Amino acid sequence: MTNKPSPAASSSKSPQDSKQPTAVVIGSGFGGLAAAIRLSARGYKVTVLERLHGPGGRALVEERDGHIFDLGPTIITAPYLFEELWALCGKTLSDDVNLVPMDPFYQIRFDDGRVFNYTGDIDQMRSEVAKFNPADVDGFNRYLKVSETIYKTAFEDLSAVPFDSLWFTLKCAPEMIKLDGHRTVFGKVSDYFSDPSLRTVFSFHPLLIGGNPLTTTAYYCLIAHLERLHGVHFSMGGTGSLVKGMVGLIEGQGGEIRYDSEVSGILSSEGKATGVRLASSEELAADLVISNADSAWTYHHLMDGKPANRWSPAKIDRTSYSMGLFVWYFGTKTKFEDVYHHVMLLGPRYEGLLKDIFTNKKLTEDFSLYVHRPSATDPSLAPEGGDTFYVLSPVPNLDSGMNWEDEGERYRAAIQKRLEDTIMPGLGDALSTSFFFTPKDFETRLLSMKGAGFGMEPKLFQSAWFRPHNRSEEMENLFLVGAGTHPGAGVPGVLSSAKILDEIAPDPSVFQR
Ligand SMILES: Cc1cc2nc3c(=O)[nH]c(=O)nc-3n(C[C@H](O)[C@H](O)[C@H](O)COP(=O)(O)OP(=O)(O)OC[C@H]3O[C@@H](n4cnc5c(N)ncnc54)[C@H](O)[C@@H]3O)c2cc1C
């Protein structure tokens, strides 16, 4: 193993050129960007290395034919986590980014045409519940309390602390057991709602972070309270404006982001991370290495020939991964005014469909879709008179053995037909631009194990201590942030993973030369 920078490294601009302690961040997803901001604010000189042509990871922006597409996250909650990053740099989030609250948060449309408007207003929610089943209003009132209690412990107290000590985990266990973490979201929700449609409305949230509501730990009931407490927001100009703002913060603090720069290995000496090797063979020395790459990929492919101990290839293979995503991005020449900004367009089945996606790993003919129409809130994201959309379908990850090259276009056309038959009549004639990503693209573009949309599945025994730790036990000075580590996927989760670095990454003075 090479531990000294190669001649290529010394001829390139290396963070080691300065006396300032240095950190290299692998990947510019929200977790990586937040880590870079936090480390810069503490005095590290940070270099972010990103294999794609631009920043954001899953939140990369693509412009096609005048339509601006956010490729990934669209629902922004817990804005205080962004505000903290701006404050660390002596700035104010609202000077750079305009977050507007969504009301309702989502429109949930059932196969029979009934619509549930999911809002943050409790009285309005009671009316919506009553519309479906008046007898469940009481259960809704009680469920609010349950979600709040879980939120307070599982998110407020424990999402931004490192779960890398078994002792700490055991200490938290009694409190966590009281929260029914051994139950599932669907099971817990079913205690409070008897109506099958309402069970769907209140249990679908884990899908937003790659979990199966039928198996995901009931801790994720917290999302309902998180959204109500902090709101659901849209970032004007698209989620990309948050990414752009974060890049500005990093550069403003003297950090650097290099694109088209794939890391092929993490260098180490005497059990300590010492830098990275790029696919171009260039080596970059650093005092700290932070991996925002998929945690499974990091331990499987980036250990520079040294198999990880805790996360051995066999264990990584045994681990279960979140579902895959089929995302169809398209623009239209005309406007579809009746389509709300966030629509959950449900199919005829719920539990059966979830079992097919997560357990049977079978691509089915029916689907439940999330339809995103950002130009409903910000018309500047589409050319004059048109609309910009994406539609997302949860599908099995690559364990399905599906050949997406053959299947992709057929599946896209089936989604188009479903939209034409329901909320978007005439869509085919209105299309102006179109492209799609399959789980295969998540594997090849984002280096996501098994093409999973959200990294490792958020199950009880793949959460907290059982998930890859933020402080790697494989090498000193190697840290992990992002969806595949604690606390998990979703923008609030990955921003929290970066916050944990403040506690576990050494003070830069340790490396002062
Ligand atoms: C379609 C979609 C919609 C979503 N919607 C929402 C939503 O509305 N709200 C929400 O909160 N969450 C949403 N999520 C989840 C959320 O986007 C993710 O959990 C989160 O953005 C992941 O961030 P991350 O920090 O893990 O990094 P990622 O976004 O996974 O980025 C990792 C980066 O690392 C780079 N990389 C990997 N390996 C290397 C390497 N070897 N060298 C260099 N670079 C490398 C990759 O290219 C990538 O840019 C959505 C996800 C998807 C896919």
Mutation choice for ligand 1 from 58, 242, 257, CB with most ligand atoms inside 8 A = 58
One domain, residues 420 and 473: no
Of 216, 231, 246, the domain-final residue = 231
Of 462, 488, 453, the residue nearest 57 (C-alpha): 453
One domain, residues 210 and 149: yes
- The enclosing domain of 82 has a CATH number of 3.50.50.60
CA–centroid distance, 32 to ligand 1, in Å, is 9
Of 163, 174, 169, 180, the residue nearest 221 (C-alpha): 180
Tell me the backbone φ, ψ of residue 35, rounded to 5 degrees. Answer: -65, -45
Establish if 103 belongs to a structural domain. Answer: no
484 token code pair: 């595949």
One domain, residues 306 and 350: no
pLDDT per residue as tens digits for the range 161-197: 888 888 887 887 777 778 888 899 999 999 999 999 9
Report whether the peptide linkage leading into residue 104 is cis, meaning its omega lies within 30 degrees of zero: yes
- 340 in Cβ contact with 107 (< 8 Å): yes
Amino acid at 40: S
CA–centroid distance, 279 to ligand 1, in Å, is 21
Take atom 15 of ligand 1 and give the residue whose Cα is closest: 490
The reported pLDDT for the residue numbered 18 is: 52
156 token code pair: 């407020």
CA angle 379, 330, 389 (to 5 degrees): 45
Establish if 207 belongs to a structural domain. Answer: yes
The reported pLDDT for the residue numbered 165 is: 80
DSSP bridge partners of 63: 68
271 token code pair: 């059990």
Please tell me whether residue 38 adopts helix, strand or coil conformation: helix
One domain, residues 483 and 439: no
- 451 in Cβ contact with 398 (< 8 Å): yes
Establish if 113 belongs to a structural domain. Answer: no
The reported pLDDT for the residue numbered 422 is: 97
One domain, residues 429 and 344: yes
Ligand 1: which residues within 6 Å by Cβ?
A: 26-32, 49-52, 57-59, 72-75, 208, 262-263, 292-293, 325, 327, 392, 446-447, 453-454, 482-483, 489-491, 494
CA–centroid distance, 59 to ligand 1, in Å, is 6
The reported pLDDT for the residue numbered 27 is: 98
Of 410, 404, 408, 415, the residue nearest 440 (C-alpha): 404
- The enclosing domain of 381 has a CATH number of 3.30.519
One domain, residues 287 and 138: no
Establish if 118 belongs to a structural domain. Answer: no
Tell me the backbone φ, ψ of residue 185, rounded to 5 degrees. Answer: -60, -45
Separation CA 79–CA 119 (nearest Å): 17
Of 446, 474, 500, the domain-final residue = 446
255 token code pair: 């950090």
The reported pLDDT for the residue numbered 157 is: 83
For 270, residues 6+ apart whose C-beta sits below 8 A from its C-beta are: none
Composition of the chain by helix, strand, coil, percent to 5: 45, 20, 35
One domain, residues 419 and 328: yes
Establish if 434 belongs to a structural domain. Answer: yes
Atom of ligand 1 nearest to the CA of 74: 8
Spans in the chain with pLDDT lower than 50: 1-17
- 509 in Cβ contact with 287 (< 8 Å): no
Residue entry with tokens 């972070």: 209
- 3-class secondary structure for 485-512? CCCCCCHHHHHHHHHHHHHHCCCHHHHC
The reported pLDDT for the residue numbered 325 is: 98
Of 235, 257, 198, 269, the residue nearest 477 (C-alpha): 269
Please tell me whether residue 441 adopts helix, strand or coil conformation: helix
Q: Which long-range contacts (CB under 8 A, 24 or more apart) does 151-158 make?
A: 151/222, 151/225, 151/226, 151/229, 153/179, 154/179, 154/219, 154/222, 155/222, 155/226, 155/487, 155/492, 158/464, 158/487
Take atom 39 of ligand 1 and give the residue whose Cα is closest: 293
Tell me how far CA of residue 216 lies from CA of 160, 180, 188, 207, 220, in angstroms. Answer: 20, 12, 11, 9, 7
The reported pLDDT for the residue numbered 7 is: 33
CA–centroid distance, 145 to ligand 1, in Å, is 31
One domain, residues 327 and 357: yes
Cα 494 to chain centroid, rounded: 7
Establish if 187 belongs to a structural domain. Answer: yes
One domain, residues 259 and 306: yes
187 token code pair: 């099971």
Establish if 452 belongs to a structural domain. Answer: no
For 167, residues 6+ apart whose C-beta sits below 8 A from its C-beta are: none
- 37 in Cβ contact with 88 (< 8 Å): yes
Of 231, 259, 292, the domain-final residue = 231
One domain, residues 367 and 398: yes
Furthest C-alpha separation in the chain: 73
The reported pLDDT for the residue numbered 513 is: 66
The reported pLDDT for the residue numbered 9 is: 34
One domain, residues 205 and 258: no
One domain, residues 342 and 368: yes
Residue length of the chain: 513
Establish if 451 belongs to a structural domain. Answer: no
Range of the domain at 269: 7-63+71-98+236-319+458-511
E-strand ranges in 173-262 read: 233-235, 256-258
Number of domains in the chain: 3
CA–centroid distance, 270 to ligand 1, in Å, is 32
